[in-house]
Structure 1
């Protein structure tokens, strides 16, 4: 069952899945994702995930326009495929919420439930996660709305298919095993999460309810990793008999033009470094609509899929995307860079991340063989990337280089601001000179270690 995004909500009582859920939400008169905007260096930030991760193109355009009117016109797509609107002020958050409501965009209450972006379309999909999301939200509505749950609680429903979610970590994972069977697992990605239940959809939903009850009992700071194993075994007696069933690997990359198994055409696009300006997004959407596109699906990896493009027109949209700051070609090295908003867009940042990213791409291609992520963080908060990576953190004196860590970690090397381009070139040259046959950039950096990298950076 695919999701039809809310185009016309019957406030007196809709009869179909998301329309009914959306009608209830609108009766409460609030967009829950806007209840607690986060203060950042460039104002307030709102993160939201529309129902099913889906928007019509007019709805996405409306979001872009309201981001320009009430924020600083910068929108981002996160690594998990959620939307962020930046630069809001306290007095404009309510106006943004009103515009979102007027556009017919439904943002479900409670934690985001991330589902396979090609749900309901991909013929290789084992079961439709949109139906699972709806079942979770309708059956567990009160639990999901509990203030006792951690704000960052993560739930993934992976229906499989060409663009599965095995790489996403989550507190709670639901993974389709067949059309009628779901596995529920906790605290990990597709390979590492601990399975606790398996069965039909109603069994899976009940198991999620049990886990949410445990988490609510533990309190709002608790995640799945904090649940006492003995308590889990008491709630799930069959836990010890279950074995991890790895999710299928993703079969297609995000960016690029794809034909699904049934011949449908989808175009995956990524804003440059996950960030886009409202005017550029509107221009791309106008072009896509002129060529038949009707819907977008947000996707992990900081991008989205355009659906409905006429097969003969899709290459023209793909080719034109670059002029608006979007990557629509597979294999682009930029997809291995995570960059925050940076100076000029965020008052906390010590350097302009996107400009440095472009210079590094040109000067140090050896870094980008797909084995590592380069995290460019304007300050120690590390907003763009929560996992360890090759990280450059901005400081008042210049840059902190962390070989495999987070933005706030102790640096392996400190680099003066005026020497950053030279240092990156030296680092790339050191990898080229020292890499063994078949060795990746990440493996070479690990082997060189902090001492080897420091030596390379200090060479004249």
Structure 2
């Protein structure tokens, strides 16, 4: 799939108020894999998921060095636990691919299959998701790699355990029910997905093949939500008789140390807002290696686990992580902010998202009670967060504030650039003054609505 097929650029010659050419990125629905990197405001972006979401420390450090040599040295971990490398050029993507191959990193063809991050090492795991991923890729290879499937088709294999994937929405979910049976469901997360089949691994693989066949036949990038229920029941006549207990998202924050059922320690680490510089990552990996860490597992929530650290080395690793721009402590409010690369890292962005994020964390801690996500988007593309949130979108005139919406939605209030700090302080104070007993920040904002928020922001 060519870059040109995925992206259209407005070449009208128009410029924004900063004098920059107007660039309209289209068809952002495509996954920017190695074979088809995505043009962004800071060059080409590649997204990849190593097999099993697992890397050795040497492999991760090698990726960081390659990102610095062939890109702009910025790496990101997405909300689904995939790696992004930014700032590449057309002539350096191939060099990055060569480095990945030389490091022995396997990046399977087709859509990413996300599996439980602690697969194979979590004693509470019900079944092996890595083995299921291998079975899917080997048995259904031609279907999984079909160009008729949507570029962002999502497949999740959840083996259970301490850190399951029930919070991740997916087109197709394969969830371990026991050491023998798997549930296959479509279009949703652990609570909302519709079950279509249940049984041993062979049954699950066959059911996934049926769903993929339907999607490939529909073509035109269709997703599981587009399948006609009548067609689904024709393929799976027993689906309405399936009895299962929906899995709910675990409330355990992953940053910080976690003792597994067998007594082993894993340390969850999140780069600030999911983004890290290669030099900081390499330094942290070198220290982890010196302390005895043996492996890395990428995880949803924009972070990763260190595997194999002795318990007595964890405090030193947490301190070192904080000094390099990583959080390794539970309860860090930055986990409630989704921020894109921002100005300085992306030419499309109108403001420095991370700088503003830090100011908001300091000035308005009351916003971060866990009830809402703040999305700071440098422009209307909304790269960092694809779900409704309290959103600040950068524009040529300043900032667009959107309540429970996407970066490209119509703003509920426009804020001049020089008034953003004042506006955030007014918003936080309004929530503090109007919040009822036991009411969350999100519930208070919903009750105030656009009219109440606008009134608060306009008060002097």
Q: For this structure pair, what is the TM-score category when the shorter chain's length is used for normalisation?
A: over 0.9
Q: Distance in 1 between matches of 2:224 and 2:437?
A: 42
What root-mean-square deviation, in Å, do the aligned CA atoms of Structure 1 and Structure 2 show?
0.9
Contact 1:170/1:186 (<8 A) preserved? yes
Q: Distance in 2 between matches of 1:33 and 1:60?
A: 18
Q: Distance in 2 between matches of 1:131 and 1:296?
A: 19
Q: Distance in 2 between matches of 1:220 and 1:259?
A: 46
Q: CA deviation at 1:242?
A: 2.0
Contact 2:191/2:248 (<8 A) preserved? no
SS at match of 1:117: coil
For structure 1, the 5+ residue unaligned runs are 1-31
CA offset digits 1:275-304 (Å, max 9, x no partner): 000000000000000000111000000000
| Superposition map of 1:18-417 within 5 A | 33-243=33-243, 245-250=245-250, 252-417=252-417
Q: CA deviation at 1:244?
A: 5.4
2:456 pairs with 1:456: yes
Runs of 4+ in 1 over 6 A off after TM superposition: none
**TM-score normalised by the chain length of structure 2:** 0.92
- Closer/same/farther in 2, CA of residues 202 and 405 from structure 1, 3 Å limit: same
Q: CA deviation at 1:220?
A: 3.8
Q: Distance in 1 between matches of 2:138 and 2:264?
A: 31
Q: CA deviation at 1:125?
A: 1.0
SS at match of 2:156: strand
Contact 1:191/1:244 (<8 A) preserved? no
For structure 2, the 5+ residue unaligned runs are 1-31
Q: Distance in 2 between matches of 1:359 and 1:178?
A: 47
SS at match of 1:381: coil
Contact 1:33/1:109 (<8 A) preserved? no
Contact 2:167/2:248 (<8 A) preserved? no
1:442 equivalent in structure 2: 442
Q: Distance in 1 between matches of 2:409 and 2:334?
A: 24
**TM-score normalised by the chain length of structure 1:** 0.92
Contact 2:374/2:391 (<8 A) preserved? yes
Q: Distance in 2 between matches of 1:290 and 1:198?
A: 45
Contact 2:57/2:294 (<8 A) preserved? yes
Q: Distance in 2 between matches of 1:326 and 1:73?
A: 16
SS at match of 1:119: coil
CA offset digits 1:362-396 (Å, max 9, x no partner): 00001000000000000000000000000000000
SS at match of 1:350: coil
CA offset digits 1:156-185 (Å, max 9, x no partner): 001111101111000000111101110000
SS at match of 1:114: strand
Q: Distance in 2 between matches of 1:267 and 1:320?
A: 13
The alignment covers a number of residue pairs equal to 429
CA offset digits 1:105-127 (Å, max 9, x no partner): 00001110000101111111111
- Closer/same/farther in 2, CA of residues 144 and 411 from structure 1, 3 Å limit: same
CA offset digits 1:304-349 (Å, max 9, x no partner): 0000111111221112101110000000000000000000000000
Contact 1:397/1:416 (<8 A) preserved? yes
